[in-house]
Amino acid sequence: MTILKKLNFRKEKSEKSKINNNSGKLKKLLSKISGAFMLPIAIMSIAGIFLGVGAAIATGSGANEGLKLFGLFIQNMGDPIFSSLPLLFAAAFVIAFTEEAGAAVFAAIIAYLVFSALQAALIEPLRDSAQKIIGYKVLFESAGRDPESLIRLVGSSVGFTTLQTSVFGGISVGLITSYLYNKFHKIQFHPAFSFFAGKRFVPLVAILAMVPLSLTFLLFWPWVGKGLSVFGTALGKVPYGIESFIFGFIERSLIPFGLHHVFYAPLWYSNAGGDAATALSQWQQAGNQFVESAGFTAANIQELIDSITKNADKWVGDSTGWQAVNSLNFNVVSFRKQGSSEVQTLRVLDFFAQEFGIKLGRFLQGKYVFMSMGLPAAAFAMVMAAPKENRKVAFASLAPAAFTCFLTGITEPLEFTFLLLSPFLFWGFHAFMCALAFLLMNVLGAHIGMTFSGGFIDYVIYGLIPIQKGTHAYWVYVVAPFYAPIYFFVFYFWIKFKNLDTPGRGQNIKLFTKKDFRNKNKNKNLVDPQVRAVVLGLGGWDNITKYENCASRLRYDVVDFSKIDENRIKSAGATAIRRVGSNHIQIIVGSIAEQLNQRVKASIGQSLEKDSKQSDSNDKNSTSKANLENPKTQNKNLSVYSVFEGNSHSIVELNDGVFSEKMLGDGVFVEPNEFKGLQKVYAPVSGKLLTLFETKHAYGITTNEGIEILVHIGVDTVNLKGQGFKTNLVQGQDVKIGDVLAEVDYDFLSKQNLPSMSTIVVITNMEQSKITNLKQGPVALNQKLFDLEQN
């Protein structure tokens, strides 16, 4: 197989590659978004502890004012976190999308403040005769934007009266600031304005960008916010816990891909997961009213109403709403229904579920069931499924993982072990059981919060400590004991039935991680030996920062020249290597450069380890052997003709350091009579156009005899990105001697300071052939340049 035939991408493969590349880009984007959520979630887990413990101390302090003050002090350590969630999400998304740039975070803070202030300027409060605010006018009052209905969508954020956009406003600010930072942080100005160049320019342009963003939210969010509230209210009325079942299955199914954060965020942190402000308004409008009682004083009533109406953002979503309830300094709510004289008293979480239709915890608490007993039982099944002589080894591996799962809710080692060995166990059984756990906890009326994960530590903090608020935490250990035997017997049977290599079975003594799962997906086909040799020769993926190519060379930027192994690179078929400057390297590989670079880029991040079938001797790609594999090359002679009228010279006279050294093969270069105007370049042989570079400056033709000819217009013309060249050809079509390959704009090329504008014609596979009858000097179009004869 020849070089061009071997490495030419056919149309179907190209289309498939585009799909894979787009899919990879989407996964990368979603992965970044998922990572962005983790920063605020991590701090929220700690803030939630302060809120819960502080509220429990303050509520249970009785007449002890000192203890109550201490509880409030602890509580206030966590309260600012939940009050500033939009700003935290803005900063988190900037960190995720700008490689943790501090200047970008600074710009995001400024941008969010401006975003909020601009809204405040255009939100007009409407007051009654007693100067009480009864609504807000947001731009205009028509089209379903009556001020009274918008009062629930306006509140306070970082000191400004703004729309309550939940985390969506912060995320939008973060994404826009990230884009502006990546685009402008290296911008340069005239020396007179240089002080404002670079990173200092980013906050300035971010301020301007907040004008259209603020107006966009002011225009559309009143409708969007209402829509989310309607959706959240409807979701709260779904019977039999079906919404929790669906949530549980999808959330667990996305765990292997790290995309579960993207899925649950709207339900945890926005109106879609419940809207207490809307629910309170509707409840009061129905004629219901709060009533004082021993555990629910007038001060408590005012605290509840003011907290919900003035800080609506803290009362949306399953997670933030639960934390808001947990921060209240009372445990029960007393009330009287419209038309009834009976005073009812409910635990505050039960009140929200029964009266507001907001079943807090329904998208959180299911995890406690399978993390406390289900997965540990699966680990015990793996131990018992191992041969008796290996059970101690299996226990030593699995016991710490099972205990970690029980204590903290970290499930990765266990889940990814059986996911890799049997996807059915994960998606067919485990994800279903997780969904069922969410449903059961919802139906049974539990209301347990969570921030980090569903381990015993969270269970104590968010289930047992606030149990007086109506968490009904005991339901976890009513349901979980049934999960233990189910998980044990299903796992034990399936491991035996499918003969799975769980720890202690076969040669396996390890647990697997998410990294193993991702590597398995990436490496269903190992990196091919040529790509592996090139990347290892360049010091590995981490040492390469830029991947480019021209017609004949890989043009890469590297971090450290000292890590480069030229012998390994040459074993991949490279004919020469050039180091340019302090971090740029050019690898001369001939006409396969573009395809090889595509294969390298398609493999970025994949494991470079070899399997048992690969060896260093195989790393040398067939590039160096391809010319010997086509017997046609060895049996036939060939004549090569001029590409246009001009002057022909031996390739050695080009003096470019690559072609002139015959690194790509032997041949000639032809100069046109004049380097100006539009001129055509013609095919020097007949054959199939197997290589046509996107930059249109180089064309690879393989003849019927198997001869591979590269027609390369100019030197370093790859940098023009196709400018100055036109062609009507498509890769794979047949060409004949004298067919037009390209039209060249020499007026444009003359302005580009190129080393040469001559057209180079070289034979790239002529190990057992030689050039004879070389024509030098003036040549006409289609006049013979040289013959190729077998040695």
Catalytic residues: 550
Measured CA distances, 670 to 590, 659, 711, 759 (Å): 19, 13, 10, 5
Residue 387: partners with Cβ closer than 8 Å, 6 or more residues away? 504, 505
Q: How far is CA 653 from the centre of its chain?
A: 51
- Which letter, b or e, does each residue of 118-127 get, where b requires 16 or more Cβ atoms within 10 Å of its Cβ? bbbeebeebe
Phi, psi of 759 (to 5 degrees): -100, 130
Q: Return d(Cα 580, Cα 589) in angstroms, integer.
A: 17
DSSP states along 582-631? TTEEEEE-GGGHHHHHHHHHHTTT------TT--GGG-S-GGGTHHHH-H
Burial level of 194, CB count in 10 A (0-12/13-18/19+)? exposed
Q: Edge-to-edge, what's the strand order for the sheet holding 740-745?
A: 678-682, 740-745, 725-726
Q: Return d(Cα 784, Cα 739) in angstroms, integer.
A: 15
Q: Are 735 and 689 in contact (CB under 8 A)?
A: yes
Taking alpha carbons only, the member of 648, 698, 640, 710 closest to residue 673 is 648
Q: State both tokens at 270.
A: 């926005």
Q: Which long-range contacts (CB under 8 A, 24 or more apart) does 204-208 make?
A: 205/180, 206/107, 206/108, 206/110, 206/111, 206/114, 206/176, 206/177, 206/180, 207/110, 207/111, 207/114
Cross-strand pairs, 335: 290, 344
Q: Are 97 and 105 in contact (CB under 8 A)?
A: no
Q: Return d(Cα 165, Cα 112) in angstroms, integer.
A: 12
* Sequence letter at residue 431: A
Cross-strand pairs, 681: 742
Helix (H, G, I), strand (E, B) or coil at 447: coil
Q: Are 213 and 115 in contact (CB under 8 A)?
A: yes
* Sequence letter at residue 314: K
